[in-house]
Amino acid sequence: MKKAILSAKGVCKSFAHGGGQVHVLSQVDIDLYEGDFTVIMGASGSGKSTLMYALSGMDRATAGEIIYDGEDIVKMSEKRLASLRCSDFGFIFQQMHLVSNLTLFENVVVPGYLNKEKSAAEVKARADELLEQMSISHIKSHLPSQVSGGEQQRCAIARAVINEPRLLFADEPTGALNRKNTNDVLDLLTGLNRSGQSILMVTHDLRAALRAGRILYLEDGGIIGELTLPPYDLNEEKSRETQVNAWLSSMHW
């Protein structure tokens, strides 16, 4: 049986707006499992990012519980949340948010130093391995502004996994990339998942969704559908695409 890493029940999120409340998430239940590659899809504004931010403790749910390692993320102190986000979770966004005056190498090592579990030498060695894996070793001394968007995103992935997160959160990681860079980034995420990395990714992109073993569909602040798929195999991408497309049509995507 699969082991749940994170188990959320009855998650609600509202925002104060114009003197009233906007209810974005209403009673969302979701379990994320060890080693899974889960994708969340849904129309723009359906609450995908809001859900990801609540699950990862980047923002606090208004109600419900999100159990991670026996602790409720909804009730955690800010201090505990900050340490959890640094040690146990990794984050990738559409805009890479690299630090502009640090080199690619420095962008990757800094969160490793903050974690304090490894010596500086160990962090540097791991960063070099990751930069190699992401095929950006040759430009590791460049600043983000001196490399392409795809290279920046590969650096952001290396940074996100430097502390070996139990769970990697990705919000539209290919949203700003061209087709070639999208495929490279998706191949890297698929590779990480094959070596055991648990991933939760939000995407609008069908090609990105094909990489998942499970796709959840969010509408009006709730999960209305779930599709389970066998592990991704490039040779079977066409039939997978047909299956996912048909399912998405049934969700009125």
Ligand X SMILES: Nc1ncnc2c1ncn2[C@@H]1O[C@H](COP(=O)(O)OP(=O)(O)OP(=O)(O)O)[C@@H](O)[C@H]1O
> In the complex, which residues of this chain contact ligand X (CB under 6 A)?
15, 17, 22, 24, 42, 44-50
Q: Rounded to the nearest whole angstrom, what is the least distance from the CB of residue 17 to ligand X in the complex? A: 5
Which one of the spans 23-31, 44-52, 118-126, 207-215 is the region binding Mg ion (CB under 5 A)? 44-52
| 242, interface contact from ligand X, Mg ion, none, CB < 5-8 Å by kind | none
| 103, interface contact from Mg ion, ligand X, none, CB < 5-8 Å by kind | none
Decide whether 32 or 41 has the Cβ nearer to ligand X: 41
Decide whether 42 or 144 has the Cβ nearer to Mg ion: 42
Decide whether 97 or 142 has the Cβ nearer to ligand X: 97
Which one of the spans 47-55, 63-71, 127-135, 231-239 is the region binding Mg ion (CB under 5 A)? 47-55
Decide whether 45 or 231 has the Cβ nearer to ligand X: 45
| 9, interface contact from ligand X, Mg ion, none, CB < 5-8 Å by kind | none
In the stretch 84-113, what mask flags binding to Mg ion with x, by CB under 5 A? Answer: ------------------------------
DSSP code string of the chain: -PPEEEEEEEEEEEEEETTEEEEEEEEEEEEEETT-EEEEEE-TTSSHHHHHHHHTTSS--SEEEEEETTEEGGG--HHHHHHHHHHTEEEEESS----TTS-HHHHHHHHHHHH-SS-HHHHHHHHHHHHHHTT-GGGTTS-GGGS-HHHHHHHHHHHHHTT--SEEEEESTTTT--HHHHHHHHHHHHHHHHTT-EEEEE-S-HHHHTT-SEEEEEETTEEEEEEE-PPP-GGGHHHHHHHHHHHHHHTT-
Binding of Mg ion by 163 (CB under 5 A): no
Binding of Mg ion by 174 (CB under 5 A): no
The answer to whether the CB of 204 falls within 8 A of the CB of 8 is: no
Q: Rounded to the nearest whole angstrom, what is the least distance from the CB of residue 99 to ligand X in the complex? A: 24
Residues of the shown chain interacting with Mg ion in the complex, contacts defined by CB under 5 A:
49
